[in-house]
Amino acid sequence: MTQLEGKTALVTGGSRGIGRAIVQTLAQAGARVAFVYQSNAQAAEQLVAELAAKQLSATAYQANVANKDAADDIVKKVVDGWGKLDILVNNAGIVRDTLLATMSPEQWHEVIETNLTSVFNFCQAVTRPMMSARYGRIINMSSVAAEFGNKGQTNYAASKGGIEGFTRCLAKELASRGVTVNAVAPGFIETDMTAAVRNAAEAEIKKAIPARRLGKPEDIAQAVLFLAGDGASYLTGQVLKIDGGLTLGGF
């Protein structure tokens, strides 16, 4: 595949789960990809090696995405090194599920900062280079939890709802500059992050999904690939749910 030939991309939370699939998919489509990982250096190195074995290159940066200086620094390195940044995927996200009554301020702030403040940090850092280039694709990772809510996820759903509002505002701000801003809202996807809830209720969950299966990281990566491409230039400010029909309601 060469649909992203000549493009450059930056993916946060890129070493595992959905982010890993996005890095692989964008690289396979011909893009030069940089990704940010927080803690699992082994997973990051393994991903770089896997891609290298396929003659694809990816660059890994370790950082806390909630840190503004780190975001500025990474975006600067990518833009200086490759001359431009075409695609930003804000994928980094964590859960700290617990009922509100027992949620610590730390659990609240950690989720808001990692999931939502990181989007502010990286979007602000790419605004100038993308505006100047009159081209950009920003894709933010939301969740169906933003719209539908789950018990124990007030912090997570607030961060994702925040991302959706943010996405619509920034889409309007940058539309005249050839920069699109969209969000993807996955349903239940088979990743480490959903392992706990899947272990507890996988059969129940599958019953609720019309497609009768959980999603795979690749299902999300394919949507990101479409949004990142030249063909999606008139699509902006949207939230695309990818959930096997989970949230359709009815019968």
Partner 1 sequence: MPTADEIFAKVRETLVDALGVDDDEITPEATLVGDLGAESIDFLDIVFRLEKNFAIKIPRGELFPESLAADQSLVKDGVVTPQGIAELRVKMPHADVEKFSKNPKVENIQELFTVQMIVNFLQNKLSGGSA
Q: Is 156 part of the annotated catalytic residue set? A: yes
Taking CB under 8 A as the criterion, which residues in 154-173 touch partner 1?
Answer: 173
Exactly one of 77, 84, 177, 206 binds partner 1 (CB under 8 A); that residue is 177
Does the protein bind partner 1 through residue 94 (CB under 8 A)?
A: no
Question: Can you point out the beta strands (E) in the chain?
Answer: 8-12, 32-37, 58-62, 87-90, 136-141, 179-186, 239-242
Cβ nearer to partner 1, comparing 177 with 216:
177
27 burial type by CB count under 10 A (0-12 exposed, 13-18 middle, 19+ buried): buried
84 binds partner 1 (CB under 8 A): no
Give the number of residues in contact with partner 1, rule: CB under 8 A. Answer: 7
End-to-end Cα spacing for the chain: 38
Catalytic residue among 61, 135, 156, 234: 156
- Under rule CB under 8 A, residue 174 binds partner 1: yes
For the CB of residue 177, give the shortest distance to partner 1 in the complex, in Å.
Answer: 7
Q: In terms of Cα–Cα distance, which of 166, 181, 224, 168 is closest to 26? A: 224
131 binds partner 1 (CB under 8 A): yes
Which spans of this chain sit near partner 1 (rule: CB under 8 A)? 128, 131-132, 173-174, 176-177
Active-site positions?
156
